[in-house]
Amino acid sequence: MKCVICHGAEIERKKVNEEVQIGHDVVFISVDVLACKNCGERYYDRKTKRYLEEITEEVKKGSVPLRDVGKVSVLAA
């Protein structure tokens, strides 16, 4: 498999924190994805996509426990 963005051939499986925005909140969900070593483009298989969708729904419903890990800020300008 080649990267469709940079045509690099080095695609590796790795654990990433996928960022999901829910309202004004951001939730990081740890998933295994294929990622291009060169440009960082991520490739999701169908299973991972579905998992992210399901987890996002669960988070919206408040049915999964979340742990606060820090603060997210934007520039006040």
**Residue ranges binding Zn ion (CB under 5 A):** 3, 5-6, 8, 36, 38-39, 41
Residue 36: Cβ within 10 Å count: 21
CB closer to Zn ion out of 14 and 60: 14
| C-alpha dist (Å) from residue 19 to 6, 8, 38, 56 | 23, 24, 21, 10
CB closer to Zn ion out of 6 and 64: 6
Distance separating alpha carbons of residues 70 and 42, to the nearest angstrom: 25
Nearest-approach distance from CB 74 to Zn ion, in angstroms: 29
CB closer to Zn ion out of 7 and 60: 7
